[in-house]
């Protein structure tokens, strides 16, 4: 299978949408069924951001990969820190958190690897290095 830009964007978009669905399942696995307003609002914002990014990635925009990178860096650190206690409290929620992070990292890797149909940089486009 050749990874064209369209194929990469489609797969990455699908993976981000899958991570949104997994995030919703994770929300219920961690026991947030009481429906506290701040938690519900935060979950709606997370789902909205993920769907928004998936829509623009599928449309072929380049900027969502940078937003996704910043968000992933900002969220993976607390995930790693809280993972031992999450696994101790609820094994399925801990495994779901790992799966969500892996799916999002996979989507991000797909967005950053060059596609087969991307044009090669010509010599005029390469940076000039001064001889010393």
pLDDT in tens, the chain (132 residues): 677 888 888 899 999 999 999 988 888 777 665 667 777 788 889 899 999 999 999 998 989 999 999 999 998 888 889 889 888 888 888 888 899 999 999 999 998 888 776 666 555 555 656 565
Q: What is the dihedral of CA 65, 66, 67, 73, to 10 degrees?
A: 100
Q: Say if residues 104 and 19 touch (Cβ distance below 8 Å).
A: yes
Q: Exposure pattern of 64-81 as b/e (b: 16+ CB <10 Å)?
A: bbeebeebbeeeeeeeee
**Model pTM?**
0.77
Structure tokens at 103: 């799916």
According to the model, what pLDDT value does residue 87 have? Answer: 86
According to the model, what pLDDT value does residue 15 have? Answer: 93
According to the model, what pLDDT value does residue 132 have? Answer: 55
User: Could you give the CA distance from residue 108 to residue 104 in angstroms, rounded to a whole number?
Assistant: 6
Measured CA to CA in angstroms, residue 7 lies from 59, 70, 92, 112 at distances of 12, 23, 32, 13
């Amino acid at each position: 299978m050749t990874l064209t830009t369209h194929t990469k964007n489609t797969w990455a978009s699908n993976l981000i949408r899958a991570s949104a669905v997994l995030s919703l399942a994770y929300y219920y696995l961690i026991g947030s069924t009481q429906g506290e307003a701040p938690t519900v609002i935060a979950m709606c914002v997370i789902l909205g951001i993920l769907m928004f990014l998936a829509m623009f990635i599928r449309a072929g925009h380049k900027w969502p990969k940078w937003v996704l990178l910043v968000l992933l860096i900002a969220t993976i650190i607390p995930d790693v820190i809280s993972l031992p206690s999450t696994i101790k409290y609820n094994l399925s929620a801990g495994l779901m958190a790992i799966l969500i992070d892996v799916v999002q990292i996979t989507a991000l890797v797909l967005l950053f690897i060059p596609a087969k149909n991307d044009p090669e940089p010509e010599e005029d486009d390469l940076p000039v290095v001064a001889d010393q």
